[in-house]
């Protein structure tokens, strides 16, 4: 959006926005590369956001680099601020190797691109036309949550008033920005804690950056937000990655096989925080290839309960887990995390964390959340993986524990290539509860 560099999802919303079309590797190999994107909305001053599109090109040097020349017809390049003021036409614009982004306001219901380049010097590794919300974030959040009237018709809004909401995706920026989003409406549910395409538990440097670690920006941001007393659910996703890791496991009543029932109960679970995050080991065959069901795991929480004393006062958080693979991952560790960090680690499938007050009678923990890991006896081809070693590892390091690396073939983590961060075959199942807050 023009006023916020933010990607978000609106779970259960009827808001329809955006466009996306990417050329395949075979299409990108043509030289000259000529393509027409169809089905576009023509720019209109009354609803300017609907007719603005973003063209992304990535050129990779093969030998010596050289220059490509881009021409676009059916649209004028424009600013991505204010009223999207038109700029000069794009005709034979020279492009060097690297990433290039252009914003266009359409003059036709299609956009025609021509890229002339020498295949001996350059290759086209991305060519796509995308469209975001293109409106101030408060407007779009409101349209997603409550709907709006356009040309006399009511559009957008949540399908079920008591379910769904907004998730803030790959939060690479500072805490204050996400405080503002969370404070907008209680139906802004939380942030991504794990995104397979953005360095796992998060880089503050943006997409795909694995130049320095540990990658814990999203994970640490979660606790920083919880320290402020805000409610913030944590989301765990693969993003657009078939072979990656990351699931939100929803806790829903049996919908008796009725599709509508399943949907509304899933959306209610998201609203209430009745789900946990899973970052599991990847399934491999004897040849070391990643195979279905990829990151499926039965490892789960069976109990997270606030136990009360005889007077009804909270005394402890009780936790139990089950479902770890007894052959591949026989060992279990449960951790309790508060605003003071990891305050207790128990090497068992059941654990209890006492809730204590300070001298002023206030709860000492601003929040409590639970992490659990199921792990093998060894890693790195036979090196012991003990409970003590696990206790000394952060979640980023645990997520990288492996016995082998990818041997090639289909990329199981990302289309971004063979970066080391995305080449290991992980062997630990990790689950993360939603936080209990001091209110």
Across the chain, which has 439 residues, the per-10-residue mean pLDDT values are: 91 91 95 97 94 97 91 97 92 96 97 97 96 94 96 93 96 95 98 91 74 85 97 94 88 73 92 97 84 93 96 95 97 98 98 93 92 97 96 96 70 42 81 91
Phi, psi of 277 (to 5 degrees): -90, 145
pLDDT at site 421: 38
Q: How far is CA 125 from CA 27, 28, 32, 264, 416, in A?
A: 10, 7, 14, 40, 10
Read out DSSP for 222-268?
HHHHHHTT---EEEEE--S-TTS--EEEE-----TT-HHHHHHHHHH
Identify whether the C-beta of residue 413 lies closer than 8 Å to the C-beta of residue 244. yes
- The CATH label, of 1.20.1340, 1.10.8, 2.60.120, 1.10.3470, for the domain at 18-131 is 2.60.120
pLDDT at site 372: 98
Domain with CATH 2.60.120 in the chain: 18-131
Q: What is the pTM of this model?
A: 0.90
Which candidate, 249, 281, 271, places its Cα nearest to that of 412?
Answer: 281
Distance CA 76, CA 112 (A): 11
pLDDT at site 438: 79
Read out DSSP for 280-330?
PPPPB-TTS-B-TTTT----EEEEEEEEE-TTS-EEEEEEEEE---TTT--
Distance CA 90, CA 420 (A): 38
């Amino acid at each position: 959006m023009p006023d916020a560099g933010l990607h978000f999802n609106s779970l259960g919303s009827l808001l329809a926005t955006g466009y996306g079309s990417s050329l395949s590797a075979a299409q990108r190999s043509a030289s000259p590369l000529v393509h027409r994107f169809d089905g576009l909305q023509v720019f209109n001053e009354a609803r300017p956001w609907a007719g603005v599109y973003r063209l992304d090109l990535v050129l990779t040097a093969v030998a010596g680099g050289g220059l490509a020349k881009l021409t676009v017809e059916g649209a004028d390049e424009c600013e991505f601020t204010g009223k999207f003021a038109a700029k000069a036409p794009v005709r034979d614009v020279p492009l060097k190797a690297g990433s290039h982004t252009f914003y266009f306001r359409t003059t036709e219901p299609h956009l025609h691109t021509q890229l002339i380049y020498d295949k001996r010097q350059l290759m086209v590794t991305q060519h796509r036309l995308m469209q975001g919300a293109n409106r101030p974030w408060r407007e779009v959040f409101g349209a997603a949550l409550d709907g709006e009237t356009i040309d006399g018709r009511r559009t957008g809004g949540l399908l079920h008033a008591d379910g769904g909401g907004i998730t803030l995706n790959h939060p690479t920026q500072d805490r204050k920005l996400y405080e503002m989003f969370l404070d907008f409406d209680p139906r802004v549910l939380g942030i991504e804690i794990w995104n397979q395409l953005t360095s796992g538990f998060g880089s503050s440097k943006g997409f795909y950056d694995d130049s320095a670690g540990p990658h814990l920006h999203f994970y640490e941001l979660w606790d920083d937000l919880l320290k402020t007393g805000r409610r913030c659910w944590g989301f765990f996703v693969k993003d657009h990655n078939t072979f990656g890791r990351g699931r939100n496991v929803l806790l829903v009543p049996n919908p008796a096989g009725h599709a509508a029932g399943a949907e509304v109960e899933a959306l209610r679970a998201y609203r209430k925080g009745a789900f946990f995050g899973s970052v599991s080991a990847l399934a491999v065959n004897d040849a070391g290839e990643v195979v279905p069901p990829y990151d499926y795991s039965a490892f789960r929480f069976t109990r997270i309960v606030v136990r009360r004393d005889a007077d009804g006062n909270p005394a402890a958080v009780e936790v139990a887990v089950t479902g770890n693979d007894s052959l591949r991952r026989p060992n279990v560790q449960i951790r309790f995390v508060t605003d003071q960090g990891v305050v207790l680690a128990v090497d068992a499938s059941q654990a209890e964390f006492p809730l204590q007050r300070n001298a002023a009678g206030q709860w000492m923990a601003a929040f409590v959340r639970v992490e659990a890991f199921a792990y093998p006896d060894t890693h790195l081809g036979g090196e012991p993986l003990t409970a003590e070693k696990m206790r000394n590892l952060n979640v980023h390091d645990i997520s990288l524990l492996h016995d082998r690396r990818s041997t090639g073939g289909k990329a199981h983590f990302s289309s971004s290539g063979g970066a080391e961060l995305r080449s290991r075959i992980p062997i630990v199942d990790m689950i993360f509860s939603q936080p209990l807050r001091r209110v």
